[in-house]
Structure 1
Amino acid sequence: MGTHHPLAIIGGGLGGLTAARVLHLNGISAAIFELEASAAARGQGGMLDIHEESGQKALHAAGLHEGFLKIVHEGGQAMRVVGTDGTVHVCEGDDGTGGRPELDRGDLRDLLVNSLPDGTVHWGRKVTGARALGGGRHEVTFADGSAITTDLLIGADGTWSRVRPLLSDATPAYTGISFAETDLYEAAARHPRSAAVIGDGFFLGLGGRAGLLAHRETDGSLHVYAARVADEGWLDTIDFTDRAAATTAVLAHFEGWHEDLRALVADADTIAPRRIHALPIGHRWERIAGVTLLGDAAHVMSPFAGEGANLAMLDGAELAAAIAAHPGDTEAALTAYEQALFPRSAASATESAASLDAMFGDRGLERMVEFFAPRPAVG
């Protein structure tokens, strides 16, 4: 049967790490099993805006808010919205009062990993399956042939969760949006034109049911998502192992855009494909003893409301708090957690889907300008 762990978390992303940290603060040990070989095995993606009502709430619960403030990207809340001709329609600076400070996902993950006791995260453990053993216990098997058993199994293993099938038959569906992700390294020195276009924070260029979404990273690079409404198979028609050919193929869908905007793809140092998937809005499951989900495993949605990482962290903190509040009664803890989880995630998924439709509809630019434009003072 393998090693037994009273509480096992599958997935060492932000949600799983937050859960383990809050459990640790409450004197409860957890074992995390993570696919990646180490904390430094790969880059963790782009910038995140951490919301006061969710991500920051979770960091307070984890006792890490002061550490979070030290890694905030100053200026990261600045924003520009432009049209395909390069005209700037919205331009906001970062005065530090926006309530959603930006930071590097990798820095946040490091903060969480370093807050846990040594040995909490078991690296290089790729899950191949999970099954119920009865009485609320479960077995998890790994690609290296090993297995564990656990009294409480938490699926924090993302979009294609191996734990979710224990609870739900739902699978993520393609949303109709595909990205070609690019990076422009050492932007100030090597890509000054693109650095000037993006500015200090978030950038959004829209038109023709397509968009260029970008951030300035804390290391001085630019991370760009060339997004478009596309058939699910579109990315399969592009050879992303040939950067020049991939760049040409992607830019064919941005004909007529200003050359300064096209340069965000044309001059990129990397390019990679990414399809956007989502679970059905309102995804939920019946209570099954000894297992639950958090983060994308529970409610993966499109990224256009900026909620994914924030919800995962809040899920982790709320789940851990519920476990601590119901000592010896796992089912009461999971019931309390899920009663709050389901409506919260449904509301965010609804907002995310609406943002996708607004951003990539026929009036995408106009609707985003209306959304972000400063509101007149009242009274």
Structure 2
Amino acid sequence: MHKPISKNTNWCFCPDCLGRGKKNSKRHKKSNSKDEIAIKKPKQLQQKICKTCLGSGLIASENPPHPNCKTFPKVAIIGGGIGGMALAVACLHRGIPFTVYERDTSFNARSQGYGLTLQQASKAIKGLGISSLEEGVISTKHVVHKTNGEVIGEWGMRKWVGAEETKKPKRTNIHIARQTLRLKLWEQLKNCDSIKWGHDLINLQTNAEGVALKFRVNNEIKTTQAHLVVGADGIRSCVRKLLFGNQISPLRYLNCMVILGICELNKLEDVESDLLDGATVFQTANGTDRIYIMPFTKDTIMWQFSFPVTETTAKALSKKGAQVLKEETVKRANWHSPIPQVLKNTELSRISGYPVYDRKLLTPEVFENNCNITLLGDAAHPMSPFKGQGANQALLDALSLARSIFINCRRSDQWRINGLRQSILSNFETEMIDRCAAKVKGSAEAAKLLHSAAILKPADKPRR
């Protein structure tokens, strides 16, 4: 029997499934040998959930595994956002030696964004040692309106009447502040002395031992060495720029900008609206502009206002500060209640805005000359926020890479002989790119659809 889970539980990989969360089902040998001869391509083995770890790939332990420097490659993770922290945690659980290098001087040095919705990754977070998200809010209803408040779309597990009769969905969407999730990851790393704050990467140089990294730290230049470098440093990734320059898949403007805000629910106590029940997501659009409002925490809601605008105007607006951004939103979104009240009661300190970009997805071939360097998250496949997929895919990337390192390096020195690209990276990147291709494309398409007349077509299904 494994140690019971508590708030301070440590984790290590499950020995029964080797940290994968799934095991191959046993195949019964067929009595008819002709069947075997006829099969030219072997069928993929069916997998089942590991009963030992219940699919997480982890078991509770007294302490996390010690870093195994003799067996595994030393990993340098550039960027301490959600993707970088997730990879660090996944390495920690498997005894893979790692160091996170973050240019910020501390965990709270700057804002780490607004809210995110855990979709596919709501199950994956258990594979990152997060057994529960008390701070998360589950939405059970989604409503789309015209600007006069007319409902043109409605879906979700809850209805206004007969909620008790609705079936429990296979997957729920959990809304949580990005910084809260990042904190959940960081708390597992605080005692391992493997996060280096204030490290600004300035150069990478491959060599016989792997990669030499050069950082600027407090106006000094420091160097270090790693077998593998992972760029998890966001849409304007320094690692990506050092690898490819700005010529390959440059930033692609999606012809709109977003303005974001967080409003405290206690400032809306005099507003009567079922849309503010803390479990409803709603959006309103006029065929050009659109606002999306969702639970942020149990006490706050987050809004995202987006509209088409030239890149030059978007850049200029984003630099003018919160007051101008708020005025722009109030002017454009003077729509049905409770939207005006939400905007009015949002403090300037909780408003920001930016132009929306993505990049054309890289191909696996682009990486082939980079034997010991790879990317994940927004550094690899940035996408618009309109599908809510960026953080989800970054978490899946991190777990996928850590599992691949562990499985392919734990019993063999072949990675030292054949190289990390052949042993790990090519397969990891191919899987990541295949998984994210539809997400990048769909997110770009959503940027067009949500700001067009198509969003106003009545339909009880998602617009994003």
- TM-score calculated relative to the size of structure 2: 0.70
CA RMSD of aligned residues (A): 2.7
Counterparts of 1:108-257 in structure 2, within 5 Å, are 108-116=181-189, 117-127=191-201, 129-135=202-208, 136-142=210-216, 144=218, 145-147=220-222, 148-168=224-244, 169-185=248-264, 187-190=265-268, 192-193=270-271, 197-200=275-278, 201-218=280-297, 220-238=299-317, 243-254=322-333, 257=335
Contact 2:318 2:354 (8 Å CA) reproduced: no
Give secondary structure in 2 for the equivalent of 1:173: strand
Change (3 A) 1:248 1:47: closer
Structure 1, residues 346-367: CA drift from partner, whole Å, max 9, x if none?
1211221222222122222327
State the AA in 2 paired with 1:67. S
Structure 1, residues 20-62: CA drift from partner, whole Å, max 9, x if none?
112111111210012333223344333322124xx13432332
Q: Does 1:371 align with 2:439?
A: no
Which of 85, 110, 132 is matched with 1:67 structurally? 132
Query: Which deviates the most, 156-165 or 129-138?
Result: 129-138
Q: Does 1:103 align with 2:176?
A: yes
Distance 1:206 1:133 in 2: 50
Distance 1:205 1:108 in 2: 28
State the AA in 2 paired with 1:115. Q
Q: Which residue is 1:58 aligned to? A: 124
Give secondary structure in 1 for the equivalent of 2:108: coil
State the AA in 2 paired with 1:296. D
Q: Which residue is 2:394 aligned to? A: 312
Q: Does 1:14 align with 2:77?
A: no
Contact 1:86 1:261 (8 Å CA) reproduced: no
Structure 1, residues 93-132: CA drift from partner, whole Å, max 9, x if none?
66563432222322211111112243122223233x2222
Change (3 A) 1:194 1:46: farther
Change (3 A) 1:240 1:265: farther
Distance 1:158 1:111 in 2: 20
Contact 2:228 2:372 (8 Å CA) reproduced: yes
Query: Which deviates the most, 81-90 or 330-339?
Result: 81-90
Change (3 A) 1:7 1:361: same
CA positional deviation for 1:337: 0.7
State the AA in 1 paired with 2:296. E
Bigger relative CO (Cα 8 Å, ≥ 6 apart):
1
Distance 1:154 1:109 in 2: 18
State the AA in 1 paired with 2:444. A
Query: Which deviates the most, 353-362 or 234-243?
Result: 234-243
Q: Which residue is 2:339 aligned to? A: 261
Distance 1:25 1:87 in 2: 50
Q: Which residue is 1:321 aligned to? A: 403
CA positional deviation for 1:164: 0.6
Which of 82, 87, 103 is matched with 2:150 structurally? 87
In the alignment, structure 1 segments of 5+ residues that lack a partner are 374-379
Contact 2:199 2:216 (8 Å CA) reproduced: yes
Structure 1, residues 46-80: CA drift from partner, whole Å, max 9, x if none?
3322124xx1343233232x234x4432x434322
Give secondary structure in 1 for the equivalent of 2:457: helix
Counterparts of 1:279-298 in structure 2, within 5 Å, are 279-282=359-362, 284=364, 285-287=366-368, 288-298=370-380
Give secondary structure in 2 for the equivalent of 1:44: coil
CA positional deviation for 1:191: 6.0
Q: Which residue is 1:341 aligned to? A: 432
Query: Which deviates the most, 26-35 or 131-140?
Result: 131-140
CA positional deviation for 1:254: 3.7
In the alignment, structure 2 segments of 5+ residues that lack a partner are 1-72, 159-167
CA positional deviation for 1:154: 0.4
Distance 1:195 1:153 in 2: 50
Distance 1:346 1:105 in 2: 23
- Residue-pair matches, total: 360
CA positional deviation for 1:198: 4.2
- TM-score calculated relative to the size of structure 1: 0.85
Structure 1, residues 212-233: CA drift from partner, whole Å, max 9, x if none?
1122221512221111011112
Q: Which residue is 1:78 aligned to? A: 141
Q: Which has the larger radius of gyration?
A: 2
State the AA in 1 paired with 2:390. G
Contact 2:136 2:297 (8 Å CA) reproduced: no
Query: Which deviates the most, 194-203 or 172-181?
Result: 194-203
Q: Does 1:272 align with 2:352?
A: yes
CA positional deviation for 1:176: 1.0
Distance 1:194 1:282 in 2: 48
Q: Which residue is 1:376 aligned to? A: none
Change (3 A) 1:192 1:151: farther
State the AA in 2 paired with 1:357. K
Give secondary structure in 2 for the equivalent of 1:322: helix
Distance 1:11 1:195 in 2: 41
